[in-house]
Structures are given as structure tokens and as C-alpha cells.
Amino acid sequence: MKIVFASTPEQEEEIKVLIEKIYSTIFPNYFPDEEIKGFVELDVLHTTSRHFEDFGTLKEASQVIVSLQTIIAILDSSNLNEKYEQTFNKNVDILQQFGLSFPFQFENFITSRMMKNEWLSLYTKPANELLI
């Protein structure tokens, strides 16, 4: 008999938070709003209840969390370097094994960063909110 520990609701929430972070802090650094809107329409990193069933064990949910955190750390780096490409690709593969669409190559981010303007994005979380 094998005992398997189910993922926790906190892990599922953490996955959602990390995906939101990619959309609100990572993607706006590399892509214009029109492209990010296209990612939403293409269900990039979109999760459903089926996904949470697929990574329903503690180990599998942890793999997804660590993969998202690693991708965020690499792409959030001020010095995006090719030495991280293999690690990036490995973590993208893990996400895809669990059915999460992340259709990017490392090169997409290197070339996008070079072309990025310093425009504000609709996807970036506001620094503060005005209450009326």
C-alpha cells in the first residue's frame, strides 16, 4: 500500500498567486498589453479544477510551485543571461507536463526585453488605490 498526501488548498492558492504575479509583474516587463491580452485569450497558465486534480499530490503541487517560482526568479532578474536557459526550459517542461500552457522560449524574453518601452501596463498592479 502506498500513502499519498493530497495537495493543500494553500498550495492551490499559492499556484494562483504565482500565476497572477507572472501576469502582473513579469509579462508587463517584456510584452505590450495587446500581447498579454492575447495570452489570456490563449489560456496561457490558465488553471481549471482538472489541473488541480492533475497535480493533486503534495509532491506534484510543490513541483508546479517551484517551477513557477524559478521562472519568476529568472525573468525578474535584472541581468537575464543565457546561462539560465537550461533551467528555464526544464521548468517550462514541468509546467507543460501538468497541462499548464506556457508557450515561450527563453529567447522570447531576451528579445522582448531589448524592445520593451517603459510604458505603463494595464496588467500591472497599482502601487496605491484612490478611495472615494
User: What's the pLDDT score for residue 62?
Assistant: 92
Residue 87, burial from CB neighbour count under 10 angstroms (0-12, 13-18, 19+): middle
pTM higher than the cut 0.85 = no
Residue 54, burial from CB neighbour count under 10 angstroms (0-12, 13-18, 19+): middle
CB 23 within 8 A of CB 36: yes
* Contact partners, residue 51, CB within 8 Å, separation at least 6: 98, 99, 100
CA–CA separation, 84 and 74 (whole Å): 7
User: What's the pLDDT score for residue 79?
Assistant: 84
Give mean pLDDT in consecutive 10-residue pieces for the chain, a chain of 132 residues. Answer: 68 93 93 93 85 71 95 91 94 94 93 60 59 51
User: What's the pLDDT score for residue 11?
Assistant: 87
User: What's the pLDDT score for residue 83?
Assistant: 92
Query: 10 Å Cβ neighbour count for 81?
Result: 9
Domain locations along the chain: 12-115
